[in-house]
Structure 1
């Protein structure tokens, strides 16, 4: 390692993908993990349902492969899907061998849950509905024993250090407000998705599309940004979202009903309440627009509080009496299927810059993510990237990167709430060309005319985050305008679905957007 490097590897983010790759790499390399808030403030820590894998003797990775492809509307990268489902069970078994404890029955057998669009029970869970929290805690505990890892909280990554299409680290802003370079031989982006761009979301408040905006400014290829998954069931109280109600609740028998008790999903899809998330979310959305209030009927689930302790406590704190057997729900932004384009090793289009987790687009999710495949993706592709980097040797010295010394162009910014309202209304569950064009023009009034004009040295942390939201919102909106069809998480009412064609044709995956100019 050259003397001017701060670390062999710097990792941006603290979710499951970041922690898994850090633990693997730290056995031979010096690793720095940075996160803009606290280490637990990520979507992985919030994941309730579990992690999917064909781990049962009655299951096979081919079954999981088929379910993933169907849910993704055949927009998936088949090689990536096969890697995910074939190696998923292996990596989970390895975690179990290392001490990760998933829920088991009285005989010591894994309790496997059922979720939407899965053909069989294959969801491993821990602590009932606290799987993500258990996995994050497990990995953080393992990292405590690694001397080569340094985890730094409250440090904001603002831009990558790029020269000649090669990444040499990242520019960061410290808690004290100083902007400084953090040099590394390899840089891994694991900053999460974009749920915070929307008014209703299941995401941690820190997840605001920073990784997408940073990658765009660096010149990395972005892909499939228009595919945003809305989870059908967020707890909805007094006009606001209070948290996620896991799909595992419907997997245990709960059904969606209107206020007069009508089954919402009957006759809509063969799998009814366990249909793919995009279909269920749209039905709830349509009902809400028609003035209906939608509930999750949980009256048939025995020992609900024991099976779903996190959801039970969330409802209690929100004043919902579960003895009535109904939970008020509404859809909200949950997961972005697109992101920074990577290959199966996590490599981006920029040398020595890698991406894993939700911020990356491996192609495994296609147009719509299958339930509980997100934690699995983080675990599998973090291990794949670790395998690759552990085989690499770097001898190249970093160049001298001169600091930029010029004034920032006048920057006018909206509020976060304004961005979230525009995204929810025009780039949300149901879209159309007129609304998307309106949103695109709205965002463009706040964008700087030149990507290089963004100078974080002159901005507060909040201004940087809001500008990232503007840039990410514009990118998603522009991508949605480009895709003139309805598929999965991208539904345009002006372009009806052509389901019969999905198995016959593969629309070229939408490789955006580094060539776009305002």
Structure 2
């Protein structure tokens, strides 16, 4: 069997971009818990933000990103991202990615919330993620092997604190161990922690838990973006309606026909996502349904084939009922600008990473862009590292512990509790209630067990509880409202928090927690 040089956990845009740009002499293994194209990236409708229009500039993209992120972004990182974006688009075109153009081969550019310019590059109308994923899959070389339907349940960390591999369950729940000098988590976000979400069913946040258990710092977990417009019928959300629909003229209206966002924000229906989502949430709480009026959108069926198909499936035409749902995690595993974490040998890219790009609220269509830029950047870094694998392959000693006798919650219970107590609107009482609920399952005891003794479902539940706990603790700590984090008991932004972040890290042994404010 060939030795692995790089293990990539996940198969979204960041993972594939990394694999494409790594040197072909490296042996690369992608491990994904489902099929290679079953991920949030493939579902992404909107597009990739880039200042490619003659009247646009990276500085304007930078300024819009900071405004959406409520100014707690890492400014230098944001400017580098905005400056590199046009080159990333040029590269996609060289790769023959199917991006939408006009009759003279100029890119068609859409506009989305909180953008001051039309700068959203899209493909297949509202199938941009699929266009890019398919493009990158076609560029994968033979040095890359893919393990589908395999779940990473633990990271191997030696006595020196270095990550050197992973342990996995395959589709038959058999255990495997794989080693490599470079382990990259590209596991996406955690939308599946909530009842209402736009995310793939795979987005359970386990990458955050894995890195945390391995000793990595986790940052700004309170910042969850709720997308304003998911199709909502019979008490359930059924799928995403991209913000680009509003960019083409669709309007939010209440049950009396009034425009919902008039007088709420100067940008109206294209206000930052947290403002639109909170406005819709308040209307629904007051028993006033909200609809997206599609009639102003020219050539709706042609421009948005995915959304049109969704609307037809549920028998809606001109006015579609909508509700907000969990969409994107701005926080995550703290990394530097090449993807390195506080654990040597462990890297994170994409939504699971907290790079400082998004601040308190992600600017629309910066997510695919981030994955593309950081995937390529990390590939360049790994390429320049020594290939020799002289790492002590001895894991930390963990004494055997019996399985706890108490039950774990059902996944639907976690989702319901998170939506109710740590969702769009938060309060100290609800967060404390939720914290007590999580702690009632004695997570620390489960974390001392050899995970190989668990079923996939048990392990997934434990990982979801862990990530929920990280979100809840961070939300309790940040005593203000900013971006995707709204506290009804602290409804305004606070100057005391403008340069502060919530950081959580674990001590020597799984189950001993050390929250810290930085």
The residue aligned with 1:349 is 342
Confirm or deny that 1:381 pairs with 2:377.
no
Q: Contact 2:443/2:462 (CA < 8 Å) preserved in 1?
A: no
| Residue deviations 1:345-387 (CA, integer Å, cap 9, x gap) | 1000000100000000001000000000000000011111111
Shift of the 396–277 alpha-carbon distance from structure 1 to 2, 3 Å rule, reads same
TM norm structure 2: 0.95
Q: CA offset at residue 25 of structure 1?
A: 1.0
Distance 2:154 2:332 in 1: 17
Matched, 1:299 2:299: no
The correspondence of residues 152-171 of structure 1 with structure 2, limited to 5 A, is 152-163=147-158, 164-171=160-167
Quick one: distance in 2 between partners of 1:195 and 1:179? 27
Alignment of 1:408 onto 2:402: yes
Equivalent residues of 2:113, 2:271 under 8 A apart = yes
Change (3 A) 1:238 1:301: same
Q: How does 1:122-161 map to 2 (within 5 A)?
A: 122-143=119-140, 146-161=141-156
Who is 2:329 aligned against? 336
The secondary structure found in structure 2 opposite 1:453 is: coil
Q: Who is 1:115 aligned against?
A: 112
Residues 1:233 and 2:191 aligned together: no
Q: Distance in 1 between matches of 2:298 and 2:107?
A: 19
Residue aligning to 1:55: 52
Partner in structure 1 of residue 510 of structure 2: none
Match of 2:241 among 238, 245, 249: 245
* Aligned CA distance change for structure 1 residues 61 and 517 (closer, same or farther; 3 Å): closer
Q: How many residues align?
A: 507
Aligned mates of 2:447, 2:117 — CA distance in 1 = 50
Alpha-carbon displacement from aligned partner over 1:286-324 (angstroms, at most 9, x marks no partner): 00000011000111112100000000111111222x1xx
Report if the CA contact (8 A) 1:202-1:243 is conserved: yes
Q: Is the 8 Å Cα contact of residues 485 and 495 (structure 1) preserved in structure 2?
A: yes
RMSD over aligned CA atoms reads 1.6
Find out whether 1:438 has 2:433 as its counterpart.
yes
Q: CA deviation at 1:513?
A: 3.5
SS in 1 for 2:506: coil
Aligned residue among 53, 67, 75 for 1:70: 67
Q: How far apart in 1 are the matches of 2:461 and 2:11?
A: 21
Deviates more, 1:439-448 or 1:76-85: 439-448
Tell me if structure 2 keeps the 8 A contact 1:266–1:272. Answer: yes
* 2:365 aligned partner: 372
SS at match of 2:52: coil
TM-superposed CA distance for 1:206, in Å, is 0.8
The structure 1 segments of at least 4 consecutive aligned residues displaced by more than 3 Å after TM superposition are 402-405
Cα deviation, residue 267, structure 1: 0.2
The offset of 1:450, in angstroms, is 5.2
CA shift, 1:454, in A, is 3.6
User: Residue in 2 aligned with 1:391?
Assistant: 384
Name which of 182, 186, 191 aligns with 1:190: 186
- Aligned residue for 1:31? 28
The gaps in structure 1 that reach 5 residues or longer are none
> Separation in 2 of the partners of 1:408 and 1:60?
59
User: What's the CA shift string for 1:404-450, capped at 9, x where partnerless?
Assistant: 67243315210011000000000000100010011011111224325
**Preserved CA contact (<8 Å) 1:116 1:371:** yes
| Structure 2 partner of 1:492 | 487
Q: Distance in 2 between matches of 1:44 and 1:449?
A: 33
SS at 1:315's partner residue?
Answer: helix
Supply the distance in 2 between the matched residues of 1:284 and 1:101 (Cα, whole angstroms).
Answer: 34
Runs of 5+ unmatched residues, structure 2? 508-512
- Mapped contact 1:114–1:251 kept (Cα < 8 A): yes
Following superposition, the deviation at residue 462 of structure 1 comes to 1.0
Stretch deviating more after TM superposition (445-454 or 487-496):
445-454
What's the secondary structure of 2:301's corresponding residue? Answer: helix
Aligned partners of 1:280, 1:420: CA distance in 2, in Å? 22
Contact 1:233 1:330 in 2 (8 A): yes
Q: CA deviation at 1:89?
A: 1.1
1:477 counterpart (469, 472, 475)? 472
Contact 1:409 1:448 in 2 (8 A): no
